Structure 1
Amino acid sequence: MKKLKRKKDNAGVGENGNGSTRDADCGRKQKLAEIHQALFSDPVDIETLRRAAASKGGLLTDEVRRKVWPKLLNINVYDLPYKPGRKVRENHKDYNQVVLDVRRSMKRFPQGMAASERATLQEQLIDIILEVLKHNPQLHYYQGYHDVAVSLLLVVGERMALALLNKLSNFHLRDFMDPTMDSTKHILNYLMPILEQVDAELHDFMNRAEVGTIFALSWLITWYGHVLSQFKHTLRLYDFFLASHPLMPIYLAATIVLYREKEVKQTECDMAMVHHLLSRIPQDLPYELLIGQAQHLFDQYPPSLLAKRAALQPRKSLSISTFQAFQLSTLHQRPDNVLQRLTRAEDSTTPRHGLEAALPQDGGQLWGQGNRMVKMAVWGLSATLGAAVFAVAQTAMDWGPEVLLQLF
């Protein structure tokens, strides 16, 4: 027993004997406790959740993301949209392009995933995208939109992914979904003014090379999901972006260019050469460092200052102009345990409707008042099987947030 005890103690000490691993574990547990407390506060402590998502390590696990992401976007987990139906595909103008993009997205799914499982998720992805477009005719599909959708799907499942994607499309991603690229170009135009404020020499070099900002287009419109090979890095950035201003992806792009300043300046001052270098994003970037620097740049050079100095103000960005109202809307949310009680009370006084009414009688009892705990137990089991399995299992049931709140 003593030998095992010593081994356990050593496991919590870094190689230099300073206890760094143990300190990291303590920091992780403290962060989880703070997130847990913020989720149970009434109203939900959104500012604490935003700080947790932006700070080192982000939201740490997919289980935590399934609880926090909806709160960051002001989504009631007991009032989700219905499961997308296949009828939405009929005669949809974007159907063929969406299918082509989704079929080409194989690298976005975990390695080793069974082909049948991936095929199921791809069909769900098609339905989610088309459902958002159907209910928001003012939005226009763009190539790369599916990269955002699949990142959400793999973490939260089909119905919640639909709710998150719908909210993001009307706020953070709104400028990319105009009928033209004008609004997207407007967002890209914030990149060079940031560089000019921080490193005038690098800014002048890129201007002489006439490289422009198109190298960062795929970074911006996919929230880096298309260009990063490791999903954990994508999720870390999504934590950050979901908790931040819609322009934060462009501030991160600036920090990446600044981080590669020596490489850029050592390249031949030629448009093709500089574009080739910058468009291939390194896979070993120090993400935590860059996230911290992006936040610092945003605080030091806010969008309003950049717009004024670079004469960007005349063009109105819907993502920017609606963000303050969006932020305010997130501040008065009830915790999930309260929402659940309210939903149960409503269910006991109102007839079955929506998804519950559509269920066959022999299977509908799972959604009944007397069997909710069965449903929640099954949901909790699916959450332990990993994000990919959860995404498939989620199509068979509604959410049970209280189960997640017990997973700390």
Structure 2
Amino acid sequence: MAREYEVVDGSEEKDDLNFRDEPALTHKRTRILDACKRRDIDDLQALAISTGGFLTDAIRCQAWPILLGVNIDQREEREKTSDSWGKLEQHRDEGQVRLDVDRSFVYYPNDDTQAQLDEKKSQLSDLITEVLRRQPYLCYFQGYHDICQVFLLVLPPATRAAAVARLSALRIRDFMLPSLNPSVAQLRLIPDILRAADPALYAHVSRTEPFFALSDTLTMFAHNVRRYSDIARLFDALLAREQAFTLYVFAQIVLRRRDEIFEQDEPDMLHFTLSKLPEDLDLDAVIVDAAALFERYPPESLRSWRSVSNSSTLKTARDVSICAAQTLEDGHRFFERQRRELEWAQRRDELLRTAWANRALILAVVVGAGAVYFRKAPIWSNLASWSMPSHYF
């Protein structure tokens, strides 16, 4: 059963929404449930950004599937064949899945017995394996299990696999390609955001490559956020907004840590500092400010945006409503387009490297071919006769 505001660190939930104000809490809960009933994604987007997000796991069980476009009829049909995935061919990455699942549930829940944790790990393994076997083209990445464990803790069994499958194929597909290049292309947008918002900070941060953001952007922050209530609330916003919003959240966190970051001069220490999230983040403030940052400097205004593939989730999932209407087959089609682009780019780079390594030989061949043509072409011969002294002939 989904839990409402589970306490995972021994303290009470923060009441930034003034949760002691029961009328305000009741009003917001009513608004969210009404938006869920109407499947109104626009209203859910606004409510997800506002303080407290979707408030409870019981509400998230309704809101998250809507944002991801989980079809109730398809879900019921899936339930009838829920065991059939076990008969499908094994996915090539299942060995790594087992290793990562063994390391799951490190920070939360912290009140389970070992037997309960073992059961959750078994469920997590089944969830990931089912999604991968049903979408065998997807490539598992380390950290995927961090995302899936949040879905396992929030959503009921009947909804988990469908929600994670759609998230994987339509929202985080770039990270499940056979190359890291699309992920790196996303990271390049973070310095662009910083350049637009704070040129001095950008100049300082640019001393190191943006790989410091890889762990958080790959895992929707699930790898580094230690409190269950925080990551569940953050997922409210990330699922309600387009995929690029994750990059703006990270950029906003960097902007909030401006003074701390300027204290680091060595590139290695700068990278280390940027790659570690502070534990005292005010996530509600970060989310609101990230939304404002997004409005001021939208993705299409960023210099590196043109380098992002048109098949990237950053572009195919720009409108959450449109993305929710896409099918898993659409996700597969986008995947194949981007995979072919990556293969072509790899072949192009290999040819360029080969050409550069053999540039002297290629230049000699070109010069030789030009000399032969020069001798045979009448027009060039006439020009040569006209331009050179007669004693050369």
Q: TM-score range by the shorter chain?
A: 0.7 to 0.9
Are 2:97 and 1:68 aligned? no
Could you tell me which of 210, 217, 222 is aligned with 1:220? Answer: 217
Displacement after TM superposition at 1:254 (Å): 0.3
Paired residue type of 1:59: F
Judged with a 3 Å threshold, the aligned counterparts in structure 2 of structure 1 residues 186 and 21 are, in CA distance, closer, same or farther, namely closer
User: What number of residue pairs does the alignment pair up?
Assistant: 306
Displacement after TM superposition at 1:257 (Å): 0.7
Displacement after TM superposition at 1:297 (Å): 1.0
Alpha-carbon separation, structure 1, partners of 2:31 and 2:254: 34
The alignment partner of 2:142 has SS state of: coil
Question: Partner of 2:236 in structure 1?
Answer: 239
User: What does residue range 84-233 of structure 1 map to in structure 2 within 5 Å?
Assistant: 84=83, 87=86, 91-207=90-206, 209=207, 211-233=208-230
Paired residue type of 1:315: S
Displacement after TM superposition at 1:321 (Å): 2.6
Judged with a 3 Å threshold, the aligned counterparts in structure 2 of structure 1 residues 21 and 186 are, in CA distance, closer, same or farther, namely closer
Alpha-carbon separation, structure 2, partners of 1:282 and 1:324: 29
Displacement after TM superposition at 1:21 (Å): 5.0
Are 2:48 and 1:53 aligned? yes
Alpha-carbon separation, structure 1, partners of 2:248 and 2:261: 18
Q: Let me know the Cα RMSD of the aligned residues.
A: 2.2
Q: RCO higher in 1 or 2 (8 Å CA, sep ≥ 6)? A: 1
Alpha-carbon separation, structure 1, partners of 2:189 and 2:175: 15
| 1:273-320 deviation line (CA, Å, top 9, x unaligned) | 1012111211101111110111011111111111xx236436335202
Q: Is the 8 A contact 2:143 2:223 kept in 1?
A: yes
Q: Is the 8 A contact 2:170 2:317 kept in 1?
A: yes
Alpha-carbon separation, structure 1, partners of 2:29 and 2:203: 45
Are 2:242 and 1:255 aligned? no
* Runs of 4+ with >6 A deviation: none
Alpha-carbon separation, structure 1, partners of 2:152 and 2:281: 25
Are 2:299 and 1:303 aligned? yes
Q: Which moved more, 1:224-233 or 1:79-88?
A: 79-88
Judged with a 3 Å threshold, the aligned counterparts in structure 2 of structure 1 residues 33 and 314 are, in CA distance, closer, same or farther, namely closer
| 1:49-101 deviation line (CA, Å, top 9, x unaligned) | 22111211100000000111111111123432343567358643211100000
Identity, % of aligned positions: 32
Q: Is the 8 A contact 2:170 2:323 kept in 1?
A: no
Are 2:317 and 1:323 aligned? yes
Paired residue type of 1:301: Y
Judged with a 3 Å threshold, the aligned counterparts in structure 2 of structure 1 residues 199 and 88 are, in CA distance, closer, same or farther, namely farther
Displacement after TM superposition at 1:159 (Å): 3.0
The alignment partner of 1:245 has SS state of: coil
TM-score by length of 1: 0.71
Alpha-carbon separation, structure 2, partners of 1:22 and 1:79: 36
Q: Is the 8 A contact 2:67 2:320 kept in 1?
A: no
Q: Is the 8 A contact 1:264 1:277 kept in 2?
A: yes
Unmatched 5+ stretches in structure 1: 1-19, 333-408
Q: Is the 8 A contact 2:61 2:156 kept in 1?
A: no
Question: Partner of 1:12 in structure 2?
Answer: none
Alpha-carbon separation, structure 2, partners of 1:152 and 1:311: 30
Paired residue type of 2:102: R
Displacement after TM superposition at 1:106 (Å): 3.1
Displacement after TM superposition at 1:117 (Å): 1.8
TM-score by length of 2: 0.73
Alpha-carbon separation, structure 1, partners of 2:310 and 2:35: 35
Alpha-carbon separation, structure 1, partners of 2:226 and 2:123: 22
